[in-house]
Amino acid sequence: MADKKGIWGTGRRKTATARVKLVKGSGQIKINGKALEEYFPVSSMQSLVNQPLQVTGLEGQLDLNINVRGGGLSGQSGAVRHGISRALCEYDADLRAVLKQSGMLTRDARKKERNKPGQPGARKRFQFSKR
């Protein structure tokens, strides 16, 4: 199914956006031109990125070229996971049920709450004084 142009998927988390290009290959993962271990040095983030490939059993069969921007490393790793999952659905429609059941196709919509006017933070209030 995958041709030379590849299959694309877009993932988002917090303020991070990831564009994932999926091509048949040897299992090489490049993020912004760097290896996975170099870009995400924390092992928990690396496993988060590899989750969709492990669940579908396609680890080591597809090359991934990923561009990610915005947010921090935690949001970026979640965006990459979402993008890989969506690209895998384009690659093979039968994988959708497995990915959906494991919750990888759901976009995590949680964002930082905005600061309200006249208050020190989003939830924090100035101390109440009755008199």
Question: Structural domain boundaries of the chain?
Answer: 7-101
C-alpha 59/C-alpha 37 separation (Å) is 16
pLDDT tens for 78-119 read 999 999 999 999 999 999 999 999 999 999 999 999 999 999
67 membership: H or E segment, kind and range: strand 62-69
C-alpha 75/C-alpha 28 separation (Å) is 22
pLDDT tens for 17-70 read 999 999 999 999 999 999 999 999 999 999 999 999 999 999 999 999 999 999
pTM for the structure as a whole = 0.88
- Residue 1: pLDDT band (50, 70, 90) is very low
3-state secondary structure of 86: helix
- pLDDT of the residue at 5: 82
Can you name the CATH fold of 7-101?
A: Ribosomal Protein S5; domain 2 (3.30.230)
